[in-house]
Amino acid sequence: MTAPTVTDTPAAPRRFRWLWLVLLIVALAAAGVLWRARGGGDAGGTASTAQPAQPPAERPVELAGLEVTRMAPRRLTDTVRLSGSVAPMEQSAVKAEVAARLVEVTVREGQPVRKGQVLARFDTADLTARLNEKLSNLEGARAQLVLAEKTRSKNIALHRKDIVSDTNLDQAQSSFQVQQAQVGALTAQVELARKALRDAVVLSPIDGMVATRSVNPGENLAVNAALFTVVDLSRVEVEATVPADDVARLRTGQTVRLRVEGFGERDFVGTIARINPMARAGSRAIPVYVSLDNADGALRGGMFASGEALVAEAENALALPPVAVRHDAQGDYALVIVDGRTERRPVTRTGLWSRGDLVQVEGLAPGDRVVTGNLPGLAAGRPVTVLGTVLGTESGGSP
């Protein structure tokens, strides 16, 4: 009897099921691709019209208006700072020329006086008596001189006749010369007495104002006792101190603009009159004297003044902050904004101003917009957009 044959029937249907599953997955994937290709609805349509992203290197660099300066010609100045106290250029210390009692004082502090005006008077009783005494002595000496001259003349005549000896003649000649000298001495004493009488009236030596009054009527004063100080305020000077490092830049005749405490924003213009050859002891400061016109008398002695001396200037110059002047292998240059892009513009440094805060340059033109911000990463050829108001012009904006 033959055994029945066993067939593996489930294997074939299992293969077909895997095949149908693979085909289904492929079909779904193809449908998804086709759906996206056709737009995938409204969102897909919007995405299909979007522009490709711009490369980072072509995106405009946004600059603030404060980082850009429009070039314009300007006046550049270099100054040296100085400060000091105001003092009258001319002042006179009036002292007693005689030893006497003061009987009258006609002025007080702060009073204006003219040259030759009476300031005070001394008692003249003693001075007049001394003058009269000197005059009397002088008259007696002159009488003795007349007698000595007659005696000498007689002796000369008798000596010619060999009546008087040489000794007698010499004595007569000597007596005449002594009396002659005595008259001269007494004449000088009379002049001194007359001068003392004149000096009893104290006069102002200059036009000005009484700054100090040291005496009062009734005082007995000695010679050279201080009486008054008279100052002339029409011209004043400031004794300023300047560091030794800056004095080399100063010259006589340079203009100085000063501000004085108490006068707010008012400027006083003067000139350097003198420069001291020596520094003050214990410091490295050298006195510099600035003369000022003070016709209105506004400035007074002792006021504190500070300001600047003009040591150099340049007209119609173009200048940049030091950070705006760049350097590479080709030399110095600045970045100028032209047609919305930065452009390398070679420049030449011609000087430093404002204690190094400004660099005077050549190679730029008035109206150029220069990048003056501290932007070391910004290179030539980059597109830029300026936002806000550009320095040096009334209006700003994008290029």
**Least confident window among 95-109, 145-159, 184-198:** 145-159
Helix (H, G, I), strand (E, B) or coil at 371: strand
Residues linked to residue 286 through DSSP beta bridges, in sequence order? 242
Which pLDDT does position 43 carry in this prediction?
Answer: 40
CB neighbour class for 329 (10 Å; exposed up to 12, middle 13-18, buried from 19): exposed
Show Cβ contacts of residue 131 under 8 Å, excluding neighbours closer than 6 positions: 190, 193, 194, 196, 197
Q: What is the domain class of 233-315 according to CATH?
A: mainly beta
- Using the predicted structure, report yes or no on whether residue 7 has a pLDDT greater than 60: no
pLDDT band at 306 (very low <50, low <70, confident <90, very high): very high
- Using the predicted structure, report yes or no on whether residue 15 has a pLDDT greater than 60: no
Mean local confidence (pLDDT), 63-79: 89
Mean local confidence (pLDDT), 320-334: 93
Instruction: Show the tokens assigned to 206.
Output: 């200059």
Show Cβ contacts of residue 158 under 8 Å, excluding neighbours closer than 6 positions: 164
**How far apart (Å, rounded) are the C-alpha atoms in residues 136 and 129?**
11
**Percentage of residues in the chain having pLDDT higher than 70:** 84
Q: What is the CATH number of domain 62-73+318-387?
A: 2.40.420.20
pLDDT band at 328 (very low <50, low <70, confident <90, very high): very high
pTM of the model: 0.59
How do residues 275-291 score in pLDDT, each as one tens digit? Answer: 999 888 878 889 999 99
**How far apart (Å, rounded) are the C-alpha atoms in residues 378 and 385?**
13
Angle 292-293-295 (CA atoms, 0-180°, nearest 5)?
Answer: 145
**Percentage of residues in the chain having pLDDT higher than 90:** 53
Pairing relationship of beta strands 61-64 and 384-387 according to DSSP bridges: parallel
Instruction: Show the tokens assigned to 140.
Output: 């007696």
How do residues 221-267 score in pLDDT, each as one tens digit? Answer: 999 999 999 999 999 999 998 888 888 889 999 999 999 988 888 89
